[in-house]
Structure 1
Amino acid sequence: MNTPVSPESLLHAALNGGRDHPATPRTPKAIADEAAAAVAAGAQVIHFHPFDASGRQTFDDVAVSATLREVRAVCPGIPISLSTSAEIEPDPQKRLTLIAGWTELPDLVSANQGEAGIREVCEMLIGRGVGIEAGLLSVDDVTSFVGSGLTDRCERVLVETTETDPDRALTDAAAIERVIAEADIELPQVHHGEGIASWVVNARAIRRGHGIRTGLEDTPVLVDGSQAAGNGELVAVAAGLLAELGS
């Protein structure tokens, strides 16, 4: 069993996704190296997207298993979260079939609640003992989540504003958080944003007692807008924010 961490100090590292950045890791070894750097800088949960030999994001079992093994070898005991995003496989049935074929399982998955077929993916993975981080990118996603019947069966929610303008990102995060409260969803929350706006979203979340996420999937830049060297540097800055702003 992994050691639980308190939601108000939880720091996720999202290592890759489709981000175009020199340090974005795509091979199992590169992903493991970036994971180790993120953990050394303070990350408590590692999230990543496996890639196939051609450099594309994939749900293929061979790539998923190989990457999980590499990361677990260098980050023992650290919870690992994989993506279930429709951006990787837009066909709901193909996505479900591919994910159901995983032979080595992550500890967690992120599951965007506004996507077609996501309830079936969540139900299947819950049945296999995988924790669900419910991705809420909008107020409508909260409504979908409530209707799914999964609100008491998930590990946490991810408040994921996609706005790149800092002011609009803060407005979005506040609106999603408000509707979560109105729906009486009491799951721990982890907040993150996109690009430079991710930092104000992180800071707001810390002040409100929530966890945060950073990494090259979310932002290629530091607080001052300069390019980050990699995931380790981004996580180190986020850890500094937690130390400065956390209660």
Structure 2
Amino acid sequence: MIQVCLNGSRGAGEGAVVPLSPEALAESAAEAVAAGATDIHVHPKTPCGQDSLSPRVLAPALAAIRARVRVPVGVTTGAWAEPDPAARLERVRSWRVLPDHASVNWHEPGAEEVAAALMERGVGVEAGIWSGTDAAARFAASPLAPRVLRVLAEVTDTSAETAEDTARALLTDLGAAFGRPVLLHGEDGGAWPVLRLAGRLGLATRIGLEDTLVLPDGNRAISNARLVTEGLRLYAENRRCSS
């Protein structure tokens, strides 16, 4: 599986290619799926370009994307979108239109409660386990761990030279991850080295403008679709090298 992460917390200042509005997200999602993406991760935005968990922001984004594609669509529940854990939980409970899945960063306050609320509503949970945090230990102790949709192993080391080593250490910390599927990805300078490693290990991965703004050759990416095309090519090359 290759997931496309359409925009993340990036804004208009980082380039017109980053989709922000529901219409732009839908168009970018359709192009990425046509290029081979099989799953979508999106950060719904307010008109001012801020990440939001409000049902009035979430619903139009999901509706627009689903009108164009027939693959699962997931959203963030990151604390930056709603810092107060109690308010974040209420936001999730107020959603009228539900995503297929949502990422929950296990190192953030209130993660267990948010994950439980999502599960109660039938929304799959991607357990975000970030390198450089205590998320792996928290996840190992969580009674919800065996019930998550998958583990999102997020390598926050942005160095092209060390990101692969950080990724391997993170996977070791996760152990068997309660038998749940693992999606491994990096960001910025670490995005492509970690994607190559995911290919060699046969793990699911993701790529998109949330994780990187550049192609493997260092040139600026013009779209999520182009990143997906390059991601699939590199993934396949590294799978052949490991077989």
* Partner residue, 2:91: 98
Q: Deviations over 1:64-123 (max 9, x none)?
A: 0011000000002x0001000011111111111111110000000011110000110000
Which secondary structure does the structure 1 equivalent of 2:17 belong to? coil
In the superposition, relative to structure 1, how do residues 40 and 119 fare at CA in structure 2: closer, same or farther (>3 Å)? same
* Partner residue, 2:172: 178
Cα offset, 1:179, TM superposition = 1.4
Which secondary structure does the structure 2 equivalent of 1:196 belong to? helix
Which secondary structure does the structure 1 equivalent of 2:134 belong to? helix
Match of 1:32 among 6, 26, 34: 26
Identity over the aligned pairs, expressed in percent? Answer: 40
* Partner residue, 1:126: 119
Q: Does 1:191 align with 2:195?
A: no
Q: Does 1:56 align with 2:46?
A: no
Identify which range, 16-25 or 80-89, moves more after superposition: 16-25
Which secondary structure does the structure 1 equivalent of 2:147 belong to? coil
Q: Which structure has more RCO (C-alpha within 8 Å, separation ≥ 6)?
A: 1
In 1, the alpha carbon distance for the partners of 2:129 and 2:150 equals 11
Contact 2:199–2:236 (CA under 8 A) maintained in structure 1 = no
Q: Does 1:13 align with 2:7?
A: no
Cα offset, 1:230, TM superposition = 1.2
Provide the aligned length of Structure 1 versus Structure 2: 236
**TM (normalized to structure 1)?**
0.92
Identify which range, 165-174 or 118-127, moves more after superposition: 165-174
Cα offset, 1:167, TM superposition = 2.4
* Partner residue, 1:235: 228
Amino acid at match of 1:100: R
Amino acid at match of 1:128: R
In 1, the alpha carbon distance for the partners of 2:45 and 2:8 equals 9
**TM (normalized to structure 2)?**
0.94
Q: Deviations over 1:28-58 (max 9, x none)?
A: 0000011011101110000001011222111
Identify which range, 114-123 or 236-245, moves more after superposition: 236-245
In 2, the alpha carbon distance for the partners of 1:240 and 1:58 equals 33
Amino acid at match of 2:5: A
Match of 1:168 among 162, 166, 169: 162
In the superposition, relative to structure 1, how do residues 229 and 120 fare at CA in structure 2: closer, same or farther (>3 Å)? same
Q: Deviations over 1:118-144 (max 9, x none)?
A: 110000110110001111102621101
Q: How does 1:196-207 map to 2 (within 5 A)?
A: 196-207=189-200
In 1, the alpha carbon distance for the partners of 2:190 and 2:146 equals 30
Structure 1 residue runs of 5 or longer lacking an equivalent are 1-9
Which secondary structure does the structure 1 equivalent of 2:228 belong to? helix
In 2, the alpha carbon distance for the partners of 1:228 and 1:68 equals 24
Match of 2:17 among 19, 23, 27: 23
